[in-house]
Amino acid sequence: MDPDERHSLATQFGVSTEQVERDHLISHLLAFLSRDFGDRIHFIGGTAPARAYLPHGHLSEDIDLIALGNRNDVARDLDAALPCQQVLGG
């Protein structure tokens, strides 16, 4: 996302540009998880449902999910698929 688009969205929604960046990242992570792990996880909590069903409401910055099947296997595969986790604080 370029700086002009980020600034425009921040102004439109009355939030900081940092919030726009976090929201953008979370949206991409949700899309990735749904596409690549959708058969192995279920989303729970507020973030995923809010983005799907409450476009003007609930603000949440965490991604809550539950593994279907062996939790350790899913966690290992998620760690391998998200190499940038160290940059993100994981």
Phi-psi map region of 89: left, alpha, beta (phi>0 left; psi -120 to 50 alpha): left
Q: What is the pTM of this model?
A: 0.73
User: Both tokens of residue 25?
Assistant: 């990242």
Name the one residue in this structure whose structure tokens are 């296997």.
73
Digit-by-digit pLDDT tens for the chain (90 residues) are 899 999 999 999 888 999 889 888 888 888 899 999 999 999 887 666 666 655 565 566 778 889 999 999 999 999 999 876 444 444
Domain of 39, in residue numbers:
3-86
Q: How many domains does the chain have?
A: 1
> Residue 46 CB: number of other CB atoms within 10 A?
17
The SS3 assignment for 44 reads: strand
